[in-house]
Amino acid sequence: MRILLKNQTAEDLQAFLARDGVTLSVARRIQASAIRRGEFPAPAPGLSAKVLTAVCTRTAIPHLDLVEKTVSARDQFAKYLFRGDGPDGFEAVRIPLLHRADDPKYVVCVSSQVGCALGCVFCATGRLGFIRNLAAWEIVDQVVKIRADSPHPVRGVVFMGMGEPMLNYESVITAARILSEPCGMAISAKAITIGTAGIVPAIRRFTAEGHAYRLLVSLTCADPARRRELMPLEGSHPTPGLLAALREYHDATGRRVTLAWTMIAGVNTREEDARQLAELTRGLPVKLDLIDVNDPSGRFRPPAPGELSDFRDALRRHLGMPVARRYSGGQDIRAACGMLAGCGRRMLP
């Protein structure tokens, strides 16, 4: 049996190779070489040629194929189209944080699935339906490939690309662990954000396991009936249960809960929406991220400046919690939030 490097933590790799004399420190060296250089390490103290031969026989180093890279002419966002263990492509986005000349860096928005089963009406990925889960190595390698292609370091990862991360829980958490390991990409766990539309059992598991990764929940509407029209998962994961899970998360971690709100003109940007959100989250410390809807079809549009200003004023009056408007870049290359649909392009060998 051969296992794939980049698909398990160094501890799991060591357990698999223990019979071959591989210690944890050697497993970390093997993992670091596979991730950072894409190759097996050379023989060294503790890693004899004999042991290395066994390692090479029992493991393999997988790689994603980069099919296409597109860079925005507006804001330097970059979209990468990859192919992994299947004919369907999936996308990742490199987000530039270059405003500090002394610390230029990137955040990578990774996909966790090809397609998505949730069917949120304002999301291009959701219109594709679910195709498959990505393996942990396919998630890790998105960051590896983008880092190798970038002039500045990758300092953060957000699981907010294609797919619902909490419906691919094992692979997502394994990938996050590998990305945060010193022998992986050495990205701080606090700089890794795992998004979800609100899969309640997975949120409770995430809380129970005590992860340091940040949690972001796409709420978008506080009225259950209208939320169900926008996000059909409301039917199987109702808002009251979701808020109960988020209160448990806050009680266990002490962290403020980040909620994402995709703003749709005339739909969820009224005074009533702000009031309902305040009632729903009463007593729960939250931070609200406002995101413009991105819909090339024209069915949905973001609020006009006046509507946005009125909504923010209403949030100040009713919510009384931190509110930030998140910049949604890469619109000209369909790399913005809700626009990823690369698996619509089937790629043959």
The C-alpha atoms of residue 61 and residue 40 are separated, in whole angstroms, by 8
Q: Could you tell me which of 190, 134, 203 has the C-alpha nearest to residue 162?
A: 134
Of 109, 116, 221, 337, the active-site residue reads: 337
The C-alpha atoms of residue 329 and residue 337 are separated, in whole angstroms, by 8
The token pair that represents 42 in the structure block: 């050379």
**Around 78, how many Cα atoms within 13 Å sit in the side-chain half-sphere?**
19
Of 91, 138, 164, 234, the active-site residue reads: 91
Catalytic residue at 343?
Answer: no
The C-alpha atoms of residue 154 and residue 147 are separated, in whole angstroms, by 6
The C-alpha atoms of residue 253 and residue 165 are separated, in whole angstroms, by 20
The C-alpha atoms of residue 44 and residue 27 are separated, in whole angstroms, by 13
Q: Is 65 left (phi over 0), alpha (psi -120 to 50) or beta?
A: beta
The C-alpha atoms of residue 290 and residue 307 are separated, in whole angstroms, by 13
Residues in the chain: 349
Asked whether 285 and 277 are in contact (CB, 8 A), the reply is no
Show Cβ contacts of residue 263 under 8 Å, excluding neighbours closer than 6 positions. Answer: 269, 290, 291, 292, 293, 302, 303, 308, 311
Catalytic residue at 337?
Answer: yes
The C-alpha atoms of residue 193 and residue 188 are separated, in whole angstroms, by 10
Catalytic site residues? Answer: 91, 337
